[in-house]
Chain A
């Protein structure tokens, strides 16, 4: 919640994505893996983009990655984000597989310090009762 009273948008889990958010609430970064070919995948979805298998499991990921890209958001933005601008949003490539790219923030890191190639590790930001977002902090 921001001081302006505008509520931050929160994820609405569905049958395929709920395990991701439930893990985050426990302070874990969990990802889907295919039962057919063992490939990791993100975002969560029913089928494997590599082998087409509909069988999958959830495994805890290392939580380590590298900034693949980033932006610095300026206004106009949703009221929920207004008091934070300018703020950085990163796209993190996970160590498990280069095509696992996760959107996140780097709480506490000034936008000017963010750079592509920066090593990061997962942390968790509680944003509502029972809801936590996987986030990132510098691992350098």
Chain B
């Protein structure tokens, strides 16, 4: 009686309303039950589902499109929501509580959408619900970042709607299925997905807003928005060659920023783009191995990147900031968080027996299989780089390095439990990849653990670490500095406002000049004594004005 065929977003949306009405003491526990119930419901009913359709203005909204791809992301989002809700169990702010439930629900709605119109609705809901997790920080900086975030997210939604409608006009179908890059409509959809997937140049909303969100909010943010975009790309643009190059660029450029960035959550935001690059690359290759690699990596990334954001969230919660320059030595009082962070770091760096290894190697193998040697070298460079900044830099500067003298308390119990859960999943999937592989949507026979893979990966990682040690000993490693590094956002945060200010200046100068010139001539007109023939003066002026207008109109009406 408890199990019904419901679209998976509904438990979250209804749960959000009920949670709002519950007394604050009961609310967190109730919220924690929603993903558990929703996940079980999905597990037991998805094979029997008849599909759930709603009618809206003559269109059919398919809200329960079940296939292996959507079910895999469905499970993933339930796990992510549970861990993140557990991590945020201590939060008393109803704004964040409700927003996070609605946000997780929107992500689930998007991956089970069967048509582009439903996708659009959930796509916009993702933006509108997630922005509150940034706003809830309640600082001026966060508010500004949230508005920039919302602007780009809504732009993505508008492009998606325009693309969907054009696609409907071209093909008469709104189905959310393979589209491929050909028509104008498909390009609009491609860019809409590209904004949310943080393509190079369109990525700044991510590095801008994620580090400004609340300690718990970023954990939610890192899980859903970008992975929905990866899902949409895998659905509509699998095998689009352009994606291979975009993905390769995404793996490489953020790691340079990550090395010199001081805010450790921003380092993680850059490394999130780097990880998305591997997935985008896999989708671009489009073979079964590559696509499986892409979605498997999305699955693992949600968990290990969530774990890393949780550890930094715990530090932020206890210390009040996550600036690499001012941290260090925290392992003394936060030993468990340190351990969890190292597990997350090992997973993202794709150490054998940790989750990143079993999925990233699939994309790498697919690249070699297709003969993309140079791109393979780029991704190998990025693999070494990600270990360098996310694997070593994050744990080292936060928990070791020089002793900052900070002695914060260990993270709250609920945070520790959430980090523990994520860490266990990282190791469990890494050592038993078949658990993940059986969920994969395409035919799969990949074996991650053989001598060559394990040895070469260990060599790559150990010698990357050796480079870090050597550079540190030589004093060549760039110190953590309090700073801002210019990125593409400079164009709209600096150049555009500065240009606008200048244009406004020029226009207002011109306007003043014109006004003075007109007034000068106005006053130069013969003035008659107002007392004697005021009406005559007024009449002359009006006639002059009417003549000027007539002249203008006659010009305009010329053929």
Are A and B co-members of a single complex? no
